[in-house]
Every structure is written in structure tokens, then in C-alpha cells.
Amino acid sequence: MSIRPWRDIQRKKTRKIKVGNVEIGDDAPISVQSMTNTLTTDVKATIQQIKGLEEVGADLVRVSCPDEESTVALKSIVKEVNIPIIADIHFHYKRAIEAAESGAACLRINPGNIGSESKVKEVIKAAKNNSCSMRIGVNAGSLERDLLEKYGEPCPEAMVESASNHIRILEDNDFFNFKISCKASDVFLAVSAYYGISDTCDYPLHLGITEAGGLMSGTIKSSIGLGSLLWAGIGDTIRVSLSADPIEEIKVGFNILKSLNLRHRGVNVISCPSCARQNFNVIKNVEELEKRLEHITTPMTLSVIGCVVNGPGEARETNIGLTGGKSGHQIYLNGEKHHVLREGDMIDHLVKLCEQKQKELLEKKV
């Protein structure tokens, strides 16, 4: 019997590009991004939302530029935030040129609606002149008419051909600082298209299941689609598309990467679903803990298990562990029994331990 190495994810080696000061591809960390849903012309609200995304760890943020007023506003927005801004462009190539001149670090163009090759060449010229990267953003819902006529429906082959055609245009114009996405709301279609484009080229890939749905359903669809691709070594930057607060997209994105041991940020809470054996209210306490621990950014693991069935085993593998007991809760530090918590607030105690652990880890780095 042959068993696949269970901790072995070999990322495909792709070209490394730069989006502002963020490296994407090759050995760079898989970046996590989201998109604002404020009116771009509402500069104050857009800046506020971007800063909120920065606080939860976003590496990049995309901002829609549907009109000239938005690209003008982009100049003010870029000056007030600390992470690279990607301008989302559809239908009018001049918006891409304006966004590049307004300080966008990357231009996202959709092959299905950006226009003729001559217009794309104008966008490339603007990207070069303003040190912008680009993303070829293929979407199953907006493929070129000739490809839909050729294939009869959105399919992986059509999406890969769309991306390949625009890769050729960029390469023919001596432009290589770009990434590619092949998104669809159908998980099978998106995954198949990403496999296809990954086999076709070595440019970095932006992963996403577009229009995935609400917080619960969208998280599940994105986890299945992105998780299967990442496990296969495909993907250099991700965006989880949710009909929810963009901050949730960043949280879900990091949790997907965390679950695959690809990137860690903050406390990874390992907790049981609870049952009749629990010696404290696991669900309520874990919910409160996750909120209280959001300020910790240093990677660490915390196990919170309601009884002794799996508690000691899980605690041996985590930085901090709590196993519920009838006369007191056993606390583990670095896999070893340390003390029993009989009095005091459990949540306060665990938060304090995590804060102490963060301090220790940061001091070791220094």
C-alpha cells in the first residue's frame, strides 16, 4: 500500500513578481487579499475599510474603479494606507491607465470585457510607465463571446484559452510582471481551470472561487476549492469571495492556509465539538476565546478540550493546552503538564498565557 506523505505539500515553482512591496510566487509566502465594498468615491469610508483589513493581516486589497471619479479618488486612498492597492478594471481600458497613474500597485483586467488587443497594449504601456503589475482575471461568467461560441458554454478549456491569449499579448509586449486567475462560482469548473492553466504556464496564480455565497456557504465552497488546489501545490495568492464583511474574507483565508500548514498568523485554536463528557461549556468558551485572542498575531497553537479522552494527546502537540477535569482543568505548556486551574476565569487565564507566549516568541526572534 502506498500512502501519500501526509505533511508534504510541494508548491509549484512559479515566477516571482512584485505587487508594490509584496512578493508573489516562487518561495514567497502565499498572500491573502480582499476587496473593498465601499463606494470608491467615498474616500474616507474606503480608507477606513482598508485599514480594518490591514489590522487583520491583509497583504493586498483590491478596489473597484468603475468610473473616472473612482480613479481620481484612488490617488488619495493610496496615500493613506500601508498595503498595496489593486485597481479592479472592467469594460473601459482608460480606467486602468488612470488607476496606474493614481498609484495602483496592480491592475486587474478581465479579458472578457477589457476590449481589443490595441487597448490592452495601452494598459501595458501605462503599467510599465508606473511600475504596476497586472492580473489577467478570467471569469467563467464573463468569457469572450468568440470563446463561448467555440465551446458552447463556460468550460475549463475556454477559460484556459482566454488566459493564454492574454498571456501572449503581455509577453509580445515584453511585459512579464503579472499573475493569472481563472475563477468560477462552480468549484469543479474553477479547480479544473486552475489545473489547466497551471500546466500551461509558470506565472503565479491568484486563487478564488468567485461569488461563493454567504459566510457559511462561501467559506465551505472556498475551503473545498482553494484547499484542494493548495494541497496540490497550486496557488500563490488567494481571495475568499464572501457576501459578508471583507474582514471575514481575510480571516477565512488565513484559516485555510493555517489548516494546510502553509502560513500561520495568530492563535490556532484546536477545540472539541463538546459532548456529555465536557467539564465546562466548550462552545461558549471557545467562541469568547477566539474573539479575545484576535489581537495576537504571532503564530502559536492552543488546545481547548472538554475532557480527558483526547485532551492530553492534543495538549502534547500544542504550545498551550487546557484539558477539562471535574476537580480542576489541567494546563499544559509546550506539551508538558504545568499546573491545574481550579479558581479564576478560564478565558482570562488562557489569554494571559497566550500573551506571555507571544512575548517569549518575539524575544527569541530578537
For 300, residues 6+ apart whose C-beta sits below 8 A from its C-beta are: 266, 267, 268, 319, 320, 354, 357, 358, 361
* Same structural domain, 43 and 142: yes
Is 62 in the same domain as 139? Answer: yes
Q: Could you list the residue range(s) of the whole structural domain that residue 342 is in?
A: 267-365
**Beta bridge mates, 207:** 238
Domain contains 3 = no
Average pLDDT over residues 338-360: 95
Does residue 210 lie within any of the structural domains? Answer: yes
Q: Flag whether pLDDT at 3 surpasses 90.
A: no
C-alpha cell at 97: 491607465
For residue 2, what pLDDT is reported? 66
Instruction: Determine, yes or no, domain membership for 12.
Output: no
Taken as a whole, the chain contains a residue count of 366
* Strand blocks (E) in the chain: 17-19, 22-24, 31-35, 60-64, 85-89, 106-109, 133-139, 178-183, 206-207, 237-239, 267-271, 300-305, 320-323, 329-333, 336-341
pLDDT for position 111: 83
Whether 130 and 196 map to the same domain: the answer is yes
How many domains are contained in the chain? 2
Q: With contact defined as beta carbons under 8 Å apart, do 290 and 269 qualify?
A: yes
Last residue of a domain, one of 218, 235, 259: 259
Q: Which letter does DSSP use for residue 252 in this model?
A: H
Q: In terms of domains, do 178 and 119 share one?
A: yes
25 is a domain residue = yes
Q: Please give the pLDDT value at position 91.
A: 85
Residue 4: per-residue pLDDT: 65
Domain final position from 259, 280, 305: 259
CATH of the domain at 32: 3.20.20.20
Q: Write the single-letter amino acid at 158.
A: A
One DSSP character per residue, 81-113 reads -SS-EEEEE-S-HHHHHHHHHTT-SEEEE-TTT
Residue 70 covered by a domain: yes
Q: Are residues 306 and 223 in the same domain?
A: no
Supply the pLDDT for residue 6.
66
- Is 209 in the same domain as 281? no
Give the pLDDT confidence score for residue 114 in this predicted structure: 87
Digit-coded pLDDT (tens) for 306-317: 999 999 999 999
Choosing from 202, 230, 259, the residue where a domain stops is 259
Q: Which amino acid would we find at residue 287?
A: E
Say whether both 119 and 171 belong to one domain: yes
Cα(177)–Cα(123) distance, integer angstroms = 13
pLDDT of residue 1: 63
Q: Tens digit of pLDDT for each residue in 74-105? A: 999 999 999 999 999 988 999 999 999 999 99
pLDDT digits (tens, 9 = 90+) for 255-299: 999 999 999 999 999 999 999 999 999 999 999 999 999 999 999
Q: 167 and 150: one domain?
A: yes
Question: Do the Cβ atoms of 106 and 181 come closer than 8 Å?
Answer: no
State what percent of residues in the chain have pLDDT above 90: 93
Query: What pLDDT, on the 0 to 100 scale, is given for residue 102?
Result: 97
Q: Is residue 135 part of a domain?
A: yes
Q: What is the pLDDT of residues 122-177, one digit of tens each?
A: 999 999 999 999 999 999 999 999 999 999 999 999 999 999 999 999 999 999 99
Q: What is the pLDDT of residues 23-74, one digit of tens each?
A: 999 999 999 999 999 999 999 999 999 999 999 999 999 999 999 999 999 9
Residue 6: inside a domain: no
Same-domain check for residues 169 and 277: no
Are 342 and 325 members of one domain? yes
Clarify whether residues 245 and 332 are in a common domain. Answer: no
CATH number of the domain that residue 308 is part of:
3.30.413.10
207/292 same-domain check: no
